[in-house]
Structures are given as C-alpha cells and as structure tokens.
C-alpha cells in the first residue's frame, strides 16, 4: 500500500527519523543490479534522517573505484568468486562485534548470501534479536544449475534450498521481499511461511534513462552504414544467456539482416570475459563490446539503440529491461524469471519461450524491420517505466521497515527479574554465556559450510578459469571503467 500526502507526494514515515538500520549487502560499489538497487535505498533512507550502517564484502577493484555516494562501508574480508571477481564470499564474522555500539533497530539484508546467511544464523543466537527484513534479489539456485557440472549442480541446489528454508523461517525474519512470482514459489517450496513474503519490484530513474539521450553521432559510430542496432546489457558470464544470444545473432546474420549487436558489460575475470566473447567469433564484424558503462554513458547506449535483446533466464527481476523500456526500447526477452513480469507481451515487447531460438530470432527480425511497431512499443514501454520510480519502491520499503520495528517493540516482553540482585547478576551472566556458546556454534557451522560448499565452488571455478584473480586485479587497476568500444579478440 502506498502512502501519499494531500498534494499527491509520497509520505515518509515520521517515526523512522533517527532510527538505526544495519544494512548488510552482498554487493555495493560494482556495476550490477543489486548494487544499484541497494544504493538507491540507502540514499533514500539517509535523505530522510535514518542512520544506516553499511556492511559488505571487499571486492576486486574496490580501491580503484571513486568514493560511494552513501558514505563509508564496513568492508568484510572474503574470497573473490572466480566467475565474477567483483563479488566475494565473506569470511566468517561476528555480527555482534560489527554492530555492538551501533545497536540497530532493524537489520536489512540485501540479496542475502554469504553475508546475509551468516547474519541470519547469528540472529538466532540472541535472546531478543532485532527484526530482520530480507530482499531476495539473486537466484543462487538458478546460477548453480548453470555454472556447475553434474552432480555438483544438484548438490548446490539442494544445499541452498535447505539453508535458505532454515534461515528465512526464523521468527526474527519478519519480511522477505521477492521480485517475481517464480521466486515466491521457490521460497514456499523451501519451507518459508507465505505470510512473510511481500512483492517488491524495482524502480528506474526516468530522468537519467530517457529517450532524449538518443545520440545520432554515437549511432553513426556504432553503425556507420545505418544498420539496426541491437543492444544487450549485462555482466559477461555464461549464466547470463550469452550463448543463446550468440546463436540468435548468427541466425540473424545468416538471414542477411543488417545489424550491429552492441554488448554493454564486462567481467573482471578476463578468462570468463574472453570465453563469452568467443561465442561471437563467427560474426565478430557485427558485434561491439563497450565494456562497463554507467550513468550518462549507459543511458546514451540504451537510448541510441533500436531493439533490446535480453537472453538471461536467471534474473529475479531484470533491472536492465526496465531501464531499456525507460529509454524507449522495445524488448525481446526469454519468458523466464523477472522479465516475464516486466514486459507486456505484444505491447512493450515480446516474451519468447526460453528455448525457442527460432521465435526469438523471428521477433527480433520483426522489430528490426518494422519502424512503426518499434515506435508503438517504445511509447508503451516508456509509459510503463514512468509509473515505476525508485521513490515509489523505496517508500514501500521505508513503511515496511517502520512497521517491523514497531511490531517488534510492541511485542517486546519485559526481562525476567529476580527479587535478589545477586540472582539477577547470575542470570544475566548465564544468559551471556549461553549466547556466546550459541555464537561459537554458529561460527563453527559457518566454517563447516566453507568446507562443504565454498571450497568446492572455488576449486571448480579456479580449475575452469586459471589465473583469474591475478588477471582480474591487473584489469581493475588498468581499466576501472571502460567508456570506449572494442571488438572481440581475433
């Protein structure tokens, strides 16, 4: 439910001013959907007087990035993922030592994984834990099915479902935001209570992502012969559907469609990026890799294209799809995950059955060949985006935060007291010792989880992509953000 003032503006809950929120996220700083979504929420809360303490893992290249607009971040040590060095698996840490003096009114977990899982496990150890709100933004299970070979994939999916079902079911976790229906179904199957689930989409800044930033000079750089420009935006990784996109692009080339395929994104792991680039070798003269883009450069890339092609089937939401629509691009997407609930089929684009390559090619070609259809869908997509702002999304989160805090405080029971002060001291000491024992057990369990799950992940990733970390570090120092264009390696 949205809250408006008499003038039609979103109302911020007054009782949230001055409250303390410990926000633990798996990513803030790198160019990805989780980082952008979380940054937007933090800025919104800070602008309205909420005291936010941010906790996140270190990542490769973080020291070469400019300061974040949200202020200081308490960085945790961890191991970089071989597949994407800008993401890390956090080492075991003590939540109470991170937040002891801060004493949060609520803990907010953005895309909980290695940091969020540890936080939820340790919240179970406290006698009166602060309320927790989790935002489920990354489908780790879907990634596992694609990244790992059998039987490791089935082991990873099973392990994740057991862990998530156990952690999300605790009484301290009051709300779990989910971005799309498939995620809600997954959580219910994992054993999470339905009444904890609350739908939350994503927003888009329509002043930044706007058709007005269409740049004809830039278009001539990309497509000097006036070719149709197809655009794809995403981290360069096999699980993002680039194999499917390459097959579609090769088909379009065989059908003599004059096009340029512009791919925005990169990967700090050079080996992974090179693998993705190799998919497009047969049509290297039609493909342009821009590297990472953000801000005005990213908006220009969107607005200067003709059709947005989205091939990932692991997206819980698909923020890039909404950004493309805001820039007036009709979308062709595989009908799986978040994009299925963003794109209105035959109105703002086309939704194609995930494995139907022929249909994906046919509908992309249809849009490329029909300017009036592109214009019609462009207008409809822009209207949809204009009704999906960050203020709307973040305001909903703010109200749920204050409701969770008030619900916790109203249900708070007074601490048991003996008539004897000495007995009260003994009771308090015993309770403290019990919490310490629980936390020690939790740390031991996390350490075991590293043996069961993290080490196999790292061994597999580093076996497939050798020398990744060194190359990634060198790349992040030499080229923190690319603004130019490049061709695939010959």
Q: Is residue 99 part of a domain?
A: yes
Rounded CA-CA distance 125/146 in Å is 35
Do residues 214 and 236 touch, judged by C-beta distance below 8 A?
Answer: no
Residue 244's alpha-carbon distances to 175, 312, 334, 480, in angstroms, are 36, 9, 10, 28
Q: Which residue range(s) make up the domain with 183?
A: 14-201+391-412+434-478
Residue 456's alpha-carbon distances to 58, 146, 463, in angstroms, are 21, 15, 10
Domain check: are 256 and 382 in the same one? yes
In DSSP notation, 85-145 reads EEEEEEPP--HHHHHTTT--SEEEEES-SHHHHHHHHHHTTSSSPPPEEEE--B-HHHHHH
Q: Is residue 449 part of a domain?
A: yes
Return the residue matching tokens 């061709």: 487
Tell me, what's the pLDDT at 5?
66
Domain-terminating residue out of 351, 386, 421: 386
Q: Is residue 2 part of a domain?
A: no
Domain check: are 274 and 229 in the same one? yes
Q: Is residue 423 part of a domain?
A: no
Helix axes 152-168, 455-464, angle to 10 degrees: 140
Domain check: are 221 and 342 in the same one? yes
Domain check: are 143 and 238 in the same one? no
Tell me, what's the pLDDT at 65?
78
**CATH for 254:** 3.40.50.2000
Query: Which stretches of the chain drop beneath a pLDDT of 70?
Result: 1, 5-6, 413-416, 460, 464-490
**pTM for this prediction:** 0.85
Rounded CA-CA distance 301/296 in Å is 9
Domain check: are 21 and 169 in the same one? yes
Q: Is residue 419 part of a domain?
A: no
Domain check: are 277 and 146 in the same one? no
Rounded CA-CA distance 178/136 in Å is 5
Q: Is residue 70 part of a domain?
A: yes
Domain check: are 145 and 250 in the same one? no
Peptide bond into 83 cis (omega under 30): no
Domain check: are 254 and 371 in the same one? yes
- Strand, helix or coil for residue 424: helix
Domain check: are 245 and 128 in the same one? no
User: Quick one: which H or E segment has residue 57?
Assistant: strand 51-57
Domain check: are 191 and 42 in the same one? yes
Residue 298's alpha-carbon distances to 265, 294, 375, in angstroms, are 10, 5, 21
* Number of compact structural domains in the chain: 2
Domain check: are 114 and 238 in the same one? no
Tell me, what's the pLDDT at 475?
37
Q: Which of 97, 55, 91, 52 is nearest to 397 (CA)?
A: 52
Q: Is residue 1 part of a domain?
A: no
Q: Is residue 428 part of a domain?
A: no
Domain check: are 235 and 275 in the same one? yes
């Amino acid at each position: 439910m949205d809250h408006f003032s008499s003038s039609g503006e979103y109302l911020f809950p007054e009782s949230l001013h001055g409250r303390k929120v410990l926000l633990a996220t798996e990513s803030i700083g790198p160019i990805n959907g989780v980082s952008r979504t979380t940054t937007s929420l933090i800025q919104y809360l800070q602008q309205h007087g909420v005291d936010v303490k941010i906790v996140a893992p270190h990542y490769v290249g973080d020291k070469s990035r400019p300061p974040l607009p949200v202020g200081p971040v308490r960085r945790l040590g961890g191991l970089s993922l071989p597949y994407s060095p800008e993401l890390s698996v956090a080492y075991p840490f003590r939540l109470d030592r991170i937040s002891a003096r801060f004493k949060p009114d609520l803990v907010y977990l953005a895309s909980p994984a290695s940091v969020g899982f540890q936080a939820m496990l340790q919240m179970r150890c406290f006698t009166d834990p602060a309320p927790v709100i989790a935002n489920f933004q990354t489908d780790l299970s879907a990634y596992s099915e694609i990244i790992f070979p059998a039987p490791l994939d089935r082991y990873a999916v099973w392990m994740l479902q057991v862990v998530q079902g156990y952690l999300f079911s605790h009484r301290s976790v009051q709300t779990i935001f989910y971005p799309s229906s498939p995620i809600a179904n997954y959580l219910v199957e994992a054993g999470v209570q339905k009444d904890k689930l609350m739908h939350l989409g994503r927003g888009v800044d329509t002043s930044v992502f706007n058709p007005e930033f269409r740049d004809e000079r830039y278009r001539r750089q990309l497509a000097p012969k006036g070719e149709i420009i197809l655009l794809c935006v995403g981290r360069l990784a096999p699980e993002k559907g680039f194999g499917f996109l390459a097959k579609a692009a090769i088909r379009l080339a065989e059908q003599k469609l004059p096009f340029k395929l512009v791919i925005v994104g990169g990967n700090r792991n050079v080996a992974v990026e090179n693998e993705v680039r190799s998919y497009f070798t047969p049509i290297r003269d039609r493909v342009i890799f821009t590297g990472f883009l953000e801000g005005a450069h990213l908006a220009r890339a969107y607005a200067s294209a003709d059709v947005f092609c989205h091939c990932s089937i692991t997206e819980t939401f698909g923020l890039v799809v909404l950004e493309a629509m805001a820039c007036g691009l009709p979308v062709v997407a595989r009908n799986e995950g978040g994009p299925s609930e963003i794109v209105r089929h035959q109105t703002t684009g086309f939704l194609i059955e995930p494995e139907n390559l022929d249909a994906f090619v046919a509908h992309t070609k249809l849009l490329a060949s029909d300017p009036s259809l592109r214009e019609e869908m462009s207008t409809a997509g822009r209207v949809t985006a204009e009704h999906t702002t960050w203020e709307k999304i973040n305001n909903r989160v703010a109200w749920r935060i204050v409701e969770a805090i008030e619900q916790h405080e109203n249900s708070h029971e007074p601490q048991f007291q003996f008539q004897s002060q000495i007995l009260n001291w003994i009771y308090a000491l015993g309770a403290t010792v019990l919490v310490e024992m629980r936390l020690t057990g939790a740390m031991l369990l996390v350490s075991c989880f590293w043996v069961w799950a993290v080490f196999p992940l790292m061994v597999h990733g580093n076996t497939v992509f050798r020398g990744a970390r060194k190359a990634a570090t060198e790349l992040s120092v030499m080229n923190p953000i690319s603004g130019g264009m490049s061709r695939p390696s010959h």
